[in-house]
C-alpha cells in the first residue's frame, strides 16, 4: 500500500501549497541583451530521457500545399522513475467539417535512442536527424493503417529562448524540482506522404517542429495553455504560453518568435495571447475561445522594434479533445479522483489573413 500511495502521488499528485511567484524562474529571466534567444544546434536537439517523472515530445505540424493539415508526434514518458512508455500519434484533420478527423495513437515497442541521443527508433518506426542537423526523416509503420514517410528540412534557424529555453520550478533556484522546456524549428519545408487505408496524402508544403519537455506533473506545472502556429508564404509566427496554478502565483510564461526563410526576425517572451470573446462550452464547461488576439512585441537582435498581430474570430472549431479520454485507464482513474481535473483542448483552424496563410491554434484548460 505504501508503494501504491507513492505511485498515485507521483502520477496525479494532490493540490500543492501556495509557494508564490518566487518559486518559479521563468525562462524570461535567462534573457540578456546579448542572449535574448539561442539558435539551435544539434546539441540542443538531444533527447533527455530523464529518470524521474517527465514527458518529452517531438511534434511535427504539416500544412500541405494542397490544404491538408496534419500533426505527427512521438511521446516518451517516465512515470515516477519506474515505468517508461513511448507513443506514436498522428492526426489528419478534416478541415472541411464534413466528416471526422483521422486519428491514430499507438504504443511503440522496443524503443531506443542512438548513442548521440539525437535519433529515436522502435519496432516499425524511426526518427532520424541527419548529419548536418537540419533535417528530420520520420518513418512509421507502427499502425498499418497509417504509413508515414516525411522529411522536415529546416528553412530558418531554430531557437530556444534565453540560454536553454527552460522555465524552472522550486523555492531553491539552484535545485529546482521541476521544469518546462520548449525549442522550435518554426519554419520547415516538408516532403513525403502519409498513406491510410483510403488514400495517400501528399505532404509537400510547410511545417514546424516543436521539441518539449515537461519535467513535473502536468496539472502542477500549468492550469492553462495557448498555442499558435501561423504560416504564410513570407513568414512563420509561433507562440506557446502557459499559466501556472495559484501555487506558483498564476504566473504567465510566454515564448514565441517570427521568422522568414533563413532569418529570425524576433524571438522572445514579451508576447500576449488574449481570449477576446468566449462562450461556455456545454460539454466541458470551459470558456471556449471564439476570438483570440495574439501579439508579438519586442526587438530584433540589433535593437529594432518589432510588432506583429493576429487578431479576429477563430472560425469553426476543428476539435474538442477530452484529455482524460486519451490517457491510459489507470491514470485516468487516479487523476480524476485524486486531482479532480478534467482537462480539455480546443483546436481551431482558419485560412484567410492579410497575407494569405494558415493558422492552427490550441487552447488547453487543465484546472
Whether the pLDDT of residue 4 is over 50: the answer is no
Of 9-13, 112-116, 271-275, 356-360, least confident by mean pLDDT is 9-13
Q: Which of 153, 148, 152 is nearest to 200 (CA)?
A: 148
Q: What's the pLDDT tens digit per position in 32-55?
A: 988 999 999 999 999 999 888 889
**Separation between Cα atoms, residue 14 and residue 29, nearest integer Å:** 29
pTM to 2 decimal places: 0.90
Residues facing 311 on adjacent strands: 293
253-256 CB contacts, 8 Å cutoff, 24+ apart: 253/24, 253/26, 253/27, 253/28, 253/167, 253/180, 255/27, 255/161, 255/165, 255/182, 256/296
- For residue 131, with 0-12 CB atoms within 10 Å meaning exposed, 13-18 middle and 19 or more buried, which class applies? exposed
Is residue 28 very low, low, confident or very high in pLDDT (cuts 50, 70, 90)? Answer: very high
Q: Residue holding cell 510564461?
A: 253
Q: What's the pLDDT tens digit per position in 121-139?
A: 999 999 999 999 999 999 9
- Residue 71: C-alpha distances to residues 61, 92, 228, 231, 291 (Å): 5, 7, 13, 15, 23
Q: What's the pLDDT tens digit per position in 173-184?
A: 999 999 999 999
Domain boundaries, the chain: 1-365
What is the model's pLDDT at position 354? 60
**Separation between Cα atoms, residue 39 and residue 158, nearest integer Å:** 6
β-pairing verdict for 112-113 and 120-122? antiparallel
Q: What's the pLDDT tens digit per position in 182-193?
A: 999 999 999 999
The length of the chain in residues reads 367
Is residue 79 very low, low, confident or very high in pLDDT (cuts 50, 70, 90)? Answer: confident
What is the model's pLDDT at position 29? 96
CB atoms inside a 10 Å sphere around CB 87: 17
Domain 1-365 superfamily per CATH? AttH-like domain (2.40.370.10)
Q: What's the pLDDT tens digit per position in 286-304?
A: 999 999 999 999 998 888 8
As a whole number of Å, the end-to-end CA separation of the chain is: 28
- Under 8 Å between Cβ of 121 and 110: no
Residues facing 64 on adjacent strands: 205
User: 132 φ, ψ to 5°?
Assistant: -75, -15
Sheet with 224-231: list strands edge to edge: 263-268, 252-260, 236-243, 224-231, 358-365, 344-350, 317-322
Q: Mean of the pLDDT values across residues 102-128?
A: 96
| Mean pLDDT over the full length of the chain | 87
- Residue 46: C-alpha distances to residues 16, 115, 297, 311 (Å): 31, 10, 30, 35
Amino acid at each position: 500500500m505504501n508503494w501504491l500511495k507513492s505511485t498515485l502521488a507521483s502520477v496525479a499528485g494532490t493540490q500543492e501549497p501556495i509557494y508564490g511567484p518566487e518559486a518559479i524562474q521563468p525562462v524570461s529571466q535567462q534573457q540578456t541583451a546579448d542572449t535574448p534567444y539561442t539558435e539551435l544546434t544539434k546539441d540542443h536537439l538531444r533527447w533527455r530521457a530523464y529518470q524521474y517523472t517527465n514527458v518529452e515530445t517531438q511534434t511535427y505540424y504539416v500544412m500541405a500545399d494542397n490544404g491538408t493539415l496534419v500533426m505527427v508526434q512521438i511521446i516518451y514518458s517516465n512515470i515516477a522513475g519506474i515505468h517508461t512508455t513511448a507513443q506514436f500519434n498522428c492526426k489528419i484533420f478534416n478541415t472541411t467539417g464534413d466528416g471526422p478527423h483521422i486519428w491514430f495513437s499507438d504504443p511503440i515497442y522496443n524503443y531506443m535512442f542512438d548513442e548521440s541521443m539525437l535519433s529515436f527508433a522502435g519496432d516499425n518506426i524511426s526518427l532520424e536527424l541527419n548529419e548536418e542537423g537540419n533535417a528530420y526523416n520520420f518513418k512509421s509503420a507502427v499502425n498499418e493503417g497509417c504509413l508515414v514517410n516525411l522529411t522536415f528540412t529546416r528553412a530558418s534557424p531554430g531557437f530556444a529562448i534565453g540560454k536553454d529555453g527552460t522555465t524552472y520550478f522550486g523555492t531553491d533556484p539552484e535545485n529546482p524540482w521541476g521544469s518546462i522546456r520548449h525549442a522550435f524549428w518554426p519554419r520547415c519545408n516538408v516532403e513525403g506522404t502519409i498513406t491510410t487505408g483510403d488514400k495517400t496524402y501528399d505532404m509537400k508544403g510547410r511545417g514546424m517542429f516543436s521539441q518539449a519537455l515537461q519535467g513535473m506533473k502536468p496539472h502542477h506545472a500549468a492550469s492553462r495553455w495557448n498555442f499558435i502556429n501561423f504560416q504564410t508564404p513570407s513568414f512563420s509566427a509561433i507562440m506557446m504560453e502557459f499559466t501556472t496554478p495559484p501555487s506558483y502565483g498564476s504566473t504567465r510564461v510566454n515564448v514565441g518568435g517570427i521568422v522568414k526563410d533563413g532569418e529570425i526576425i524576433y524571438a522572445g517572451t514579451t508576447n500576449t495571447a488574449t481570449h477576446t470573446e468566449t462562450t461556455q462550452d456545454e460539454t466541458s464547461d470551459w470558456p471556449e475561445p471564439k476570438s483570440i488576439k495574439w501579439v508579438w512585441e519586442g526587438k530584433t537582435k540589433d535593437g529594432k522594434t518589432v510588432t506583429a498581430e493576429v487578431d479576429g474570430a477563430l472560425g469553426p472549431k476543428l476539435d474538442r479533445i477530452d484529455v482524460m479520454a486519451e490517457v491510459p485507464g489507470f491514470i485516468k482513474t487516479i487523476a480524476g479522483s485524486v486531482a479532480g481535473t478534467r482537462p480539455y483542448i480546443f483546436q481551431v483552424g482558419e485560412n484567410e489573413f492579410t497575407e494569405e496563410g494558415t493558422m492552427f491554434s490550441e487552447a488547453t484548460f487543465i484546472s
